[in-house]
Amino acid sequence: MKSYAPLLMIWLGLVAASTGSAHHSAAMFDTSREVVIEGVISRYEWKNPHVYMAVETTGAAGGTFEQAIEAGAPSVLLPLGLRPDSLTIGERVTIRGNPNKSDARGIALGRSLTKEDGSELPLNIAASSVRARPDAQATSLAGTWFAPLAPFRAFRGTMSSWNLTDKGRAAMAAFDARQASYADCIPVTAPTLMIYPVTTTVEISADSVVFDVDWMTSRRVVHMDGRGHPENGEPTLHGHSIGRWEGETLVVDTVQYRAHKEGTTLGLPSGTRKHTIERFSLVDDGRHMRYEIMLEDPEYLVDPIIFSSELEYRPDLEPTGLACDLDVARRYLTNE
């Protein structure tokens, strides 16, 4: 692990420096330089997994051209305050972002947008929210929850301490972020899915607990009717989950995950022997839901990963409900 740590920390640094493009190739944008684009909105596409827009602006040598902008996912930006009706064609704006490395006029990465009235809108996963957080309190796990960015970053920050197998280290070294699974509209799985900075809606009944995560319409069903895991069950994306209550804490046991090239996190796959045990409980007088996970995957991990974080209770938020658009998901591959 000591010889691999420098490579891992370099990769983590790239992710931190380009959080807005962590889904795919950070090399597409020059995150060390900021550009300011002033002009008129000529296109605005509210699609999953990326919002795209274009600004008609003036070039350095004069003359106008259309500057394309890539922003974050609607499911990430909606909780922060960007909406499908936030912008209108012909509206004058100022956008701050990062330029394309390969072409000065190539698609740029948007960070924030300022309107003529001075109001600012988020375009990036790391942007500040423009929505006020209500002082709401949940009385159960049911409801709408939001995972802030900090736990997502913290989970990545623990990677240097993970004890990987030889296969795990090789997979990390060979990983090409341009070929991320989301380019095929395949979402990440637990634990990354559960701490992704999007809304998660929890529905509780006598027989099941359902988690609807607003990332590529991910849906997890936890069976609460006393059944066990099926023998020789067919592996699925989110596995087979059974749960039980320990007082007010929900304990979820999941096996039979399908092999996934980013099943643990970006760059680290998971195999069919992946096993997770998750615990969900209310804390802070119902203002937060504590999420704890133990993940075992002997194909890629020598030791289990143990991690905990908190989600905010946000009954004011709504999911986008947008399915992944395959053409949009792959657009960055043609814009590099």
Is residue 214 over pLDDT 60?
A: yes
On whether both 158 and 276 belong to a single domain, the answer is yes
Neighbours of 54 (CB within 10 A): 19
- 137 falls within a domain: no
* Domain that residue 240 falls in: 143-313
Q: What's the mean per-residue pLDDT of the chain? A: 90
Cβ atoms of 11 and 267 within 8 Å: the answer is yes
Per-residue pLDDT of 121-167, as tens digits, reads 999 999 999 999 999 999 999 999 999 999 999 998 999 999 999 99
13-64 pLDDT per residue, tens: 334 333 444 445 556 899 999 999 999 999 999 999 999 999 999 987 778 9
pLDDT for 171 beyond 50: yes
What was the pLDDT predicted at 332? 76
**Residue 31 and residue 65 share a domain:** yes
| pTM metric for this prediction | 0.90
Q: Does 210 lie in the same domain as 103?
A: no
- What's phi and psi for 53, nearest 5 deg? -145, 170
Count of the separate structural domains present in the chain: 2
Quick check: 289 pLDDT over 70? Answer: yes
The answer to whether residues 297 and 151 belong to one domain is yes
Q: Is the pLDDT of residue 8 over 60?
A: no
Could you read off the pLDDT of 226-243 as tens digits, one per residue? 999 999 999 999 999 999
pLDDT in tens, 173-184: 998 877 789 889
Q: Count other Cβ atoms within 10 Å, centred on residue 124.
A: 25
Same domain, residue pair 154 and 73: no
